Chains A and B, each alone.
Chain A
Amino acid sequence: MTTGQTHRQEIRRGFAAMLPLWLGVVPFALAFAILARTSGLSAVETVALSALVFAGSAQIAFVNLANEGAGGAAILLTVLLLNLRHVLYGLSVNPYLPARTRPPRPILAATMTDESYGLTMRAFRSGRGSDGFFFGASLSLFIGYLAATLAGALLGSRLPDPDCLGLELVFPLSFLALLLPMLRSRLELSVALVSGAIALVMSRSFDGGVVILTTTIGGAAVGTVLGSRGQRI
């Protein structure tokens, strides 16, 4: 599991591995900050959302619901629902991590995202993962995201519209790149195809976090059932 490199080197490796994803995360954070500022949140509140919540779809839902005058309970319930997938991420990355991680798990958890979980799982599955890599990748995204939120919150609508470049495509492209090398058997390919179909249908009616949560549960359940039956498909 460890590669013999020092912990600090592993953090740097994780940090660097995340840098290509900044291409998608920076415009996303800018767009979020502009949305938040034009929806009535202050610059301090906007940056606090990115610094403390640090979960894109939940932050956008927070801003939209607050803007529509929704109550606190509705906002918090939505945030919970959109973020429940993190529980599955934590459970599935756990077996790869040492009993005592550096930094400890409560700190490692604080900045876990779709992206850092994705890169870390890919690294572990190719024999090159570590707790340091996980932490470095998470920290990298956090810094880029926070800096872009700060820029967007302060400069607001004076910035050019980040959506016009179509950089939101970086996100699905990144996860396609993480997904494909994992498909080593027909069963895994089937799980991916079923999950993709569920996600495509659900995304027409539901927010991203809900789509990811339900698709992950549904797709993994299909894999478990088919795998335990030993079906050759």
Chain B
Amino acid sequence: MAAVASESNPMDLGYLPLIGVAALITYGTRVAGLGLGDRQLPPAIGRFLSYVPIAAFAALAVPGFGGTDEELFPRLAAAGAATVVVMLTRRLWACLIVGMTVFWLTKSVT
């Protein structure tokens, strides 16, 4: 395969050792919590963990709708439409289709 001029040799392996260590570190973070199994944690920790999904999902969602560029309004419109769809249907795919459609339509007219 002819490499694109700005791209490196597709078979270079120089970063592989570093990638291997990065993979081990990442795996460590994944297995550290899950690997505890069914061991009992103190009640306060249990309460803390029960709020983790809500806090994490808010952190994963909200910044994607913010910003100050010209796409702010289309993104907020998509979020509003998606909220209505989720409350009505609870369907992830319906939320995505409606949200993206509203985003593209709003973006095309603004």
Whether B66 and A203, one on each chain, are in contact in the complex, defined by CB atoms closer than 8 angstroms, is yes
Whether B59 and A215, one on each chain, are in contact in the complex, defined by CB atoms closer than 8 angstroms, is yes
Chain B, interface SS category: helix
**A90–B38 alpha-carbon span in the complex (Å):** 11
**A159–B58 alpha-carbon span in the complex (Å):** 33
Whether B55 and A219, one on each chain, are in contact in the complex, defined by CB atoms closer than 8 angstroms, is yes
Which residue from chain B places its CB closest to the CB of A58 in the assembled complex? B26
Closest chain A CB from B61 CB (angstroms):
4
For residue A105, CB closer than 8 A to chain B, the reply is yes
Which residue of B11, B25, B66, B103 is within 8 Å of A200 (Cβ)? B66
Interface range on chain A: under 10, 10 to 19, 20 to 34, or 35 or more? Answer: 35 or more
Whether B36 and A158, one on each chain, are in contact in the complex, defined by CB atoms closer than 8 angstroms, is no
**Per-position contact with A for B1-44: 1 when CB-CB < 8 Å, else 0?**
10010111111111110111111011101111111111001001
From A85, A154, A167, residue with most partner B Cβ within 10 Å: A85
Given contacts A79-B26, A106-B35, A179-B54, contact A42 B8 (CB under 8 A): yes
Whether A94 and B37, one on each chain, are in contact in the complex, defined by CB atoms closer than 8 angstroms, is yes
Specify which chain B residues have a CB less than 8 angstroms from the CB of A87 in the assembled complex.
29, 32-33
Specify which chain B residues have a CB less than 8 angstroms from the CB of A228 in the assembled complex.
44, 47
Whether B58 and A196, one on each chain, are in contact in the complex, defined by CB atoms closer than 8 angstroms, is yes
Whether B59 and A90, one on each chain, are in contact in the complex, defined by CB atoms closer than 8 angstroms, is no
Given contacts A58-B26, A218-B55, contact A88 B33 (CB under 8 A): yes
**A197–B63 alpha-carbon span in the complex (Å):** 9
**Per-position contact with A for B55-80: 1 when CB-CB < 8 Å, else 0?**
11111111111100001001100110
Specify which chain B residues have a CB less than 8 angstroms from the CB of A171 in the assembled complex.
60, 64
Specify which chain B residues have a CB less than 8 angstroms from the CB of A192 in the assembled complex.
54-55, 57-58
For residue B52, CB closer than 8 A to chain A, the reply is yes
Which residue of B18, B27, B61 is within 8 Å of A110 (Cβ)? B27
Which residue from chain A places its CB closest to the CB of B41 in the assembled complex? A91
For residue A53, CB closer than 8 A to chain B, the reply is yes
For residue A9, CB closer than 8 A to chain B, the reply is no
**Contacts beyond the supplied A154-B1, A196-B59, A219-B54: 14 A-B pairs with Cβ under 8 Å:** A66-B18, A79-B26, A84-B29, A90-B36, A94-B36, A114-B56, A166-B100, A174-B92, A176-B61, A176-B83, A199-B63, A203-B63, A219-B55, A228-B47
